[in-house]
Each structure stands twice: as structure tokens, then as C-alpha cells.
């Protein structure tokens, strides 16, 4: 594989994607809502954290927290306990939505969009190998997804710590759970979105169709969110590492299928 060719495809797709507002708008808006607006609301309106609904959430999540965390939280008022649980545990799965969503949106544009805009034939006729094209397009989806995730995590940490350190007396983030999630699980989840989109794009004709179908990949992440709220699972480092391994196995399977469907003849026969 010639990396100069991979990077050429990567840079070309990046230029294209960055000029497409259908792609850029969700990439900017969703993280801003998840990372800034919701945490600010949770932190600045502490009274909202002590309603009866949240009391139920406390009952289900609190007993499952690691002992050291329970000991730290026990002396605190219930509102602050709830703020901690929301900011450190409840919002964590949202950070898996970001790499998944960003990678799916970009790869939908890069794979299905190129077919839809009928630019694929000249690209396939150029002297790239299938592997170079695929790798360039995977990279252009993966790198921005992880960039947005890391930037989002840094911003979220800064916002949360700035708003809460005065009341808690210590920094809520980063902690080991979040580092494992951002550095291991998020990249694996991002690859999952790309792998699924490569396969979906080989079956559909357009960017929007691919994007809508790949959005279904968010369902397992929502299951994680509700599983945590219901007390079935708590996102600790061990759980997240186990999930990372599971997702990587799914990545390998999806990419195996993705590589087999990404060949010139198949793509051309479906682009008309």
C-alpha cells in the first residue's frame, strides 16, 4: 500500500467534506449540545437534580457505583450526588454517540455520496489500488471523528470542572473510566460506524439513505445509556475494556465484509 496515495485520497475527501454543510452541521451541532449545553444546564440548575424522577435514578445507579465513589459522594447533599452521577456516569454514553455519528456521516458522504454524485468512476479509473482507496476513505471518516471526540472530551472536562470544582472541592474529570472510554472504546465505536457505513453504502444509491441507515448504529449506545439508568450496568474501566474487545471483534467482522464489497466492478455495477 502506498501511503502517499492513501493520504491523497484522505486530503481530497477532507476538502470535499469540509465544504459540505449537510455533513458539517451535525458534526458541530450535536457535540455542542451534548458537551456544552446539557452539562451547563445540569450544573447551573441544581434544583432540577432533586426531583422524584431523579431520586429513582439515584436508587438504581448509586448502589452499583464503585465503593470508593460511594464513599466520596455519601457526605455530599443529594443534589450534588445527582449532579456527579449525571455528569460522570449518565452522560458518558453520549460521548460514544459522537465518534459513531461523525464517522457515519462522513463515511456516508465519502462512500455513498461519491456514488450519488457520479464522481466514483473517474476515481476508480485512477491508478489507486482498492486498498488505498478504502484506507483513504476510512481515514477521512476516522480522523475527524476522533478529533471531534478528543476535542469534545477536553472541552467537556474543562466545562464540568470549571462549573463544579467550587462545590465539590475536587476535579470530577478526567478519571480512569473516561480515559478508557475516550482512548479505547470511542475509536473502536468509530470504526464500527465506518464499517457498517461501507457495507450500507454498497447497497444504497445516495448519501442520505446511507446516513439514515447508519444512524441505526446508535441503538446499541442508547441501550448502554438506558442499561446504566436502569441499574443493569455501570460504566467502569473493566466494563468498558470488555466492551472495547467486543466492539473490536464486531469491527473485524464488519471490515471483513466491507473489504469484500469494496471492489471496482461491484461499485460500478451499482452506480447506475
Partner 1 sequence: MAEDLTKRFSGLTAVDRLSFEVEQGEIFGLLGPNGAGKTTTIRILASLIQPSEGEAYVGGLSVRDDALRVRETIGILTESPSLYERLSARENLEFFAKAYGVDEPQTRGARIRELMEFFDLWDRRGDRAGTFSKGMKQKLALARALVHQPGILYLDEPTSGLDPKSAKDIRDLMERLSQREGQTILLSTHRLEDAERLCDRVMIINRGAAVSVASPRELRQRATGAHVVNVGLREVTETLREAAEAAEGVKAIEVKDGALSVTLASEGYTPILVRGLVEAGGSIMHVVPQEVSLEEAYLKVIGGE
Tally the C-alpha atoms within 13 A of residue 44's C-alpha that lie toward its C-beta: 8
Residue for cell digits 449525571? Answer: 86
- Element holding 57 (H helix, E strand): helix 52-61
Stretch that binds partner 1, among 11-19, 63-71, 145-153, 199-207 (CB under 8 A): 11-19
Q: At its nearest, how many Å lie between partner 1 and the CB of residue 16?
A: 5
Measured distance CA(262)–CA(110) in Å, rounded: 13
* Binding residue for partner 1, selected from 128, 153, 184, 255, defined by CB under 8 A: 128
Percent helix, strand and coil across the chain, each rounded to 5? 85, 0, 15
Is 125 a binding residue for partner 1 by CB under 8 A? The answer is yes
- Of 22, 235, 238, the C-alpha closest to 110 is 22
Stretch that binds partner 1, among 24-32, 99-107, 126-134, 240-248 (CB under 8 A): 126-134
Measured distance CA(265)–CA(26) in Å, rounded: 33
Q: At its nearest, how many Å lie between partner 1 and the CB of residue 261?
A: 15
Stretch that binds partner 1, among 10-18, 144-152, 197-205, 207-215 (CB under 8 A): 10-18
How many residues would you count in the chain?
Answer: 272
For the chain, give the longest Cα–Cα distance: 67
* Binding residue for partner 1, selected from 28, 41, 126, 246, defined by CB under 8 A: 126
C-alpha 231, offset from chain centre: 23
Stretch that binds partner 1, among 15-23, 74-82, 213-221, 243-251 (CB under 8 A): 15-23
- Judged by CB, which is closer to partner 1: 47, or 265? 265
Is 15 a binding residue for partner 1 by CB under 8 A? The answer is yes
Is 67 a binding residue for partner 1 by CB under 8 A? The answer is no
- Of 221, 249, 264, 240, the C-alpha closest to 104 is 221
- Of 214, 28, 228, the C-alpha closest to 110 is 214
- Judged by CB, which is closer to partner 1: 20, or 154? 20
CA separation (Å) from 254 to 116, 149, 189, 190, 219? 23, 22, 12, 12, 17
Per CB under 8 A, contacts with partner 1 among 248-267 are 264-265
The pattern of x and - marking residues 71 through 110 that bind partner 1 according to CB under 8 A reads: ----------------------------------------
Is 127 a binding residue for partner 1 by CB under 8 A? The answer is yes
Site size for partner 1, by CB under 8 A?
24
Q: At its nearest, how many Å lie between partner 1 and the CB of residue 267?
A: 10
| Contact positions vs partner 1 (CB under 8 A) | 5, 8, 12, 15-16, 19-20, 117-129, 264-265, 268-269
Amino acid at each position: 500500500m502506498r501511503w502517499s496515495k492513501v493520504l491523497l485520497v484522505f486530503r481530497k475527501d477532507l476538502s470535499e467534506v469540509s465544504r459540505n454543510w449537510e455533513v458539517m452541521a451535525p458534526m458541530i451541532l450535536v457535540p455542542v449540545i451534548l458537551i456544552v449545553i446539557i452539562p451547563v444546564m445540569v450544573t447551573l440548575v441544581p434544583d432540577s437534580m432533586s426531583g422524584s424522577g431523579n431520586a429513582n435514578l439515584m436508587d438504581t445507579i448509586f448502589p452499583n457505583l464503585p465503593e470508593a465513589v460511594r464513599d466520596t459522594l455519601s457526605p455530599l447533599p443529594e443534589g450534588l450526588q445527582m449532579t456527579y452521577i449525571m455528569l460522570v456516569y449518565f452522560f458518558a454514553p453520549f460521548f460514544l454517540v459522537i465518534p459513531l455519528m461523525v464517522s457515519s456521516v462522513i463515511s456516508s458522504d465519502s462512500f455513498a455520496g461519491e456514488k450519488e454524485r457520479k464522481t466514483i468512476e473517474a476515481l476508480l479509473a485512477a491508478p489507486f489500488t482498492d486498498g488505498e482507496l478504502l484506507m483513504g476513505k476510512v481515514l477521512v471518516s476516522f480522523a475527524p471523528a476522533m478529533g471531534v471526540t478528543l476535542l469534545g472530551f477536553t472541552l467537556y472536562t474543562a466545562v464540568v470542572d470549571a462549573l463544579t470544582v467550587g462545590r465539590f472541592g475536587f476535579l470530577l474529570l478526567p478519571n480512569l473510566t473516561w480515559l478508557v472510554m475516550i482512548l479505547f472504546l470511542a475509536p473502536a465505536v468509530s470504526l464500527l460506524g465506518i464499517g457498517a457505513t461501507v457495507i450500507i453504502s454498497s447497497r444504497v444509491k445516495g448519501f442520505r439513505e446511507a446516513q439514515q441507515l447508519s444512524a441505526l448504529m446508535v441503538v446499541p449506545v442508547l441501550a448502554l445509556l438506558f442499561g446504566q439508568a436502569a441499574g443493569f450496568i455501570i460504566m467502569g474501566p473493566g466494563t468498558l475494556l470488555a466492551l472495547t474487545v467486543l466492539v473490536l471483534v464486531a469491527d473485524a467482522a464488519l471490515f471483513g465484509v466491507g473489504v469484500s464489497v469494496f471492489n471496482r466492478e461491484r461499485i460500478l455495477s451499482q452506480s447506475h
